[in-house]
C-alpha cells in the first residue's frame, strides 16, 4: 500500500489539514530504466507553503491532486537502472508518499548518499538549509574579521548555521529569535555573542544597544518589521542578505515594504536576494567545509525529528508557529 498526502486545495492564510487529502493506492510498478524508492525521511521547509500557491516562482506550483512536494531521503527497493541497486539510500525532491518511481537522469536527480552518511545530517546542516546559510553568508554576506553580523530567524536551521559561519569568520554575531529558550540556545550552545527575543523585546532598541558599531551584514530570514528595524542600524557598505521573509508567507493581503529603504542609499549598502538551487553544482564543496566545522565542534546544529505518516501535514506548520527546534524533519522508518 502506498499512503499519500495530496494537495487538495490552494492555501489562503495558514495551511491546515483541509489543504490536503489522504489517499491509499497500490505500490507503483517500475518500467525500464526506473527505480522504486521507499521514503524514509521528509524535510520540511517554509518554501513549501509557496509551492502550494498558484503563482510563478523558482519552481512550478504543485498541481492539485498530486502528492505534496518535499525534499526526501529514501531507500531503493527495486531497480531497473544500472546505477542503482536495491538498498541504496538516495536523496531527491519527492513527495509526501511512501513510495515513488524515479527515472534517474531523465526526470529527476537521484543522489546516492555516501556509505555511512547520517540522513538527518544530510538533510539539515549539509542539506538545503546548511547550504543556504553557507552560500548566503560567504557569497553575498562576505564576512570580514571584526565586523558585526545580525541574523533573524537565528535559532532556525538556516539562521543558526549562518550566524555560526559569521562567528567562524571572526564576526561579532547577534541573533534575533522568538522566546527565551531559543535565545539561550544561541548564546550558550551556538556561540552567538548576544540574542534578541523579538517576542518580548523592542528589536530596534536592542539592535542599537547590542551592535554599537552598527550592522555590517544582516542575514534576513523573516522580513517585515524585523527587516525594517535592522535597516535602521546598517553601517556604511553593509550587505543585507535576503534569504527569506517567513513573517509574510501566510499573509492574506499585500505586505507593506520597509519605509526606510533610503538607508541603503545613504550608507551605500547592498540588499540582495538569492535562491540556493543556483549553487547546486557547488554543494559538494560546501558540504566538505561544513562537515569539517561540525567535526571540529565549531558548528553545532539541531534536528527536530517528528514521526508518523499521519503527522506530516501538521509538521509543516511547526515552522510557522516556531515549535521547531532546528531543522524540521519527519521519519517514517529506518533503512532496511
Ligand atoms: N533563499 C533560499 O534559497 C532559502 C533556502 C532555504 C530557506 N530559506 C528561508 O530561510 C528561512 C528559514 O528557513 P528554515 O528552513 O531554516 O526554517 P527555520 O528557521 O528552521 O524555521 C522557521 C522559523 O521561522 C520563525 N518564524 C516563523 N514565523 C515567524 C514570524 N511571523 N516572524 C518571525 N519569525 C518567524 C520561527 O522561529 P522563532 O521561534 O524564532 O519565531 C521558526 O522556527 C525561511 O525564510 C526560508 O524561506 C531560503
Are 58 and 143 in a shared domain?
A: no
| CB 262 near ligand 1, within 6 Å | no
Query: Which residues have C-beta within 8 Å of that of residue 5, sequence separation ≥ 6?
Result: 20, 21, 22, 67, 68, 96, 97, 309, 312, 313
Claim to verify: residue 115 and residue 144 sit in the same structural domain: no
Q: Assess whether 69 and 118 both reside in one domain.
A: yes
Per the domain annotation, does 233 fall within a domain? yes
d(CA 137, CA 218): 10
Which residues constitute the domain of residue 243? 128-278+289-293
In this structure, are 18 and 93 located in the same domain? yes
Query: Do residues 31 and 46 both lie within one domain?
Result: yes
Task: Report the nearest atom of ligand 1 relative to the CA of 136.
Answer: 1
Same domain membership, residue 212 and residue 84: no
**Domain at 22, CATH number:** 3.90.180.10
Shortest-distance Cα residue to atom 46 of ligand 1: 244
How many angstroms separate the CA atoms of 237 and 150, rounded? 15
**Domain tally for the chain?**
2
The alpha carbon of 233 and the centre of ligand 1 are apart by a number of angstroms equal to 22
Centre of ligand 1 from the C-alpha of residue 323, in Å: 11
Domain-located, residue 177: yes
- 146 and 104, same structural domain? no
**What local confidence, expressed as pLDDT, does residue 107 receive?**
58
H-helix segments, the chain: 47-51, 119-123, 128-135, 157-168, 180-188, 203-210, 224-231, 262-266, 283-295, 312-321
Mark whether 112 and 230 lie in a shared domain. Answer: no
Q: Ligand 1: which atom is nearest the Cα of residue 247?
A: 31
95 pocket-lining for ligand 1 (C-beta < 6 Å): no
Say if ligand 1 is within 6 A of residue 128 CB.
yes
- Position 331 scores a pLDDT of 98
Residue whose C-alpha cell reads 515594504 in the numeric block: 257
- Longest C-alpha distance within the chain, in Å? 64
Per-residue tens of pLDDT for the chain, all 336 residues: 999 999 999 999 999 999 999 999 999 999 999 999 999 999 999 999 999 999 999 999 999 999 999 999 999 999 999 999 999 999 999 999 999 999 877 556 899 999 999 999 999 999 999 999 999 999 999 999 999 999 999 999 999 999 999 999 999 999 999 999 999 999 999 999 999 999 999 999 999 999 999 999 999 999 999 999 999 999 999 999 999 999 999 999 999 999 999 999 999 999 999 999 999 999 999 999 999 999 999 999 999 999 999 999 999 999 999 999 999 999 999 998
Is any atom of ligand 1 closer than 6 Å to the C-beta of 157? yes
Using the atom order of ligand 1, give the atom closest to the CA of residue 45: 15
Q: Are residues 272 and 136 in the same domain?
A: yes
Q: What CATH number is associated with residue 214?
A: 3.40.50.720
Is the shortest distance between the CB of 222 and ligand 1 below 6 Å? yes
The structure's pTM equals 0.97
**283 within a domain of the structure (yes/no):** no
What pLDDT score does 285 carry?
A: 95
Amino acid at each position: 500500500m502506498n499512503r499519500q498526502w495530496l494537495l487538495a486545495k490552494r492555501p489562503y492564510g495558514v495551511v491546515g489539514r483541509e489543504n490536503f487529502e489522504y489517499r491509499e493506492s497500490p505500490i507503483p510498478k517500475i518500467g525500464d530504466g526506473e527505480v522504486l524508492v521507499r521514503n524514509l525521511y521528509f524535510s520540511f521547509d517554509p518554501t513549501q507553503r509557496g509551492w502550494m500557491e498558484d503563482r510563478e516562482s523558482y519552481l512550478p506550483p504543485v498541481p492539485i491532486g498530486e502528492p505534496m512536494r518535499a525534499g526526501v531521503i529514501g531507500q531503493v527497493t527495486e531497480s531497473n537502472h544500472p546505477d542503482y541497486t536495491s538498498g541504496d539510500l538516495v536523496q531527491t525532491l519527492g513527495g509526501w508518499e511512501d513510495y515513488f518511481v524515479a527515472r534517474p537522469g531523465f526526470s529527476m536527480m537521484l543522489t546516492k548518499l555516501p556509505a555511512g552518511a547520517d540522513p538527518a545530517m544530510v538533510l539539515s546542516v549539509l542539506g538545503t538549509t546548511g547550504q543556504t546559510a553557507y552560500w548566503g553568508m560567504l557569497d553575498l554576506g562576505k564576512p570580514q574579521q571584526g565586523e558585526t553580523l545580525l541574523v533573524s530567524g537565528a535559532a532556525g536551521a538556516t539562521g543558526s548555521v549562518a550566524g555560526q559561519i559569521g562567528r567562524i569568520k571572526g564576526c561579532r554575531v547577534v541573533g534575533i529569535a522568538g522566546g527565551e529558550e531559543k535565545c539561550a540556545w544561541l548564546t550558550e550552545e551556538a556561540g552567538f555573542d548576544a540574542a534578541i527575543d523579538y517576542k518580548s523585546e523592542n528589536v530596534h532598541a536592542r539592535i542599537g544597544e547590542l551592535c554599537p558599531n552598527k550592522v555590517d551584514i544582516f542575514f534576513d530570514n523573516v522580513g517585515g518589521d524585523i527587516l525594517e528595524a535592522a535597516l535602521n542600524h546598517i553601517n556604511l557598505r553593509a550587505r543585507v542578505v535576503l534569504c527569506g521573509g517567513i513573517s509574510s508567507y501566510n499573509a492574506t493581503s499585500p505586505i507593506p515594504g520597509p519605509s526606510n529603504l533610503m538607508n541603503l542609499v545613504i550608507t551605500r549598502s547592498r540588499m540582495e536576494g538569492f535562491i540556493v538551487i543556483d549553487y547546486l553544482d557547488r554543494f559538494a564543496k560546501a558540504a566538505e567545509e561544513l562537515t569539517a566545522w561540525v567535526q571540529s565542534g565549531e558548528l553545532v546544529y539541531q534536528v527536530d525529528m517528528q514521526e508518523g505518516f499521519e503527522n506530516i501535514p501538521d509538521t509543516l506548520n511547526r515552522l510557522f508557529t516556531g515549535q521547531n527546534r532546528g531543522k524540521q524533519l519527519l521519519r517514517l522508518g529506518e533503512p532496511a
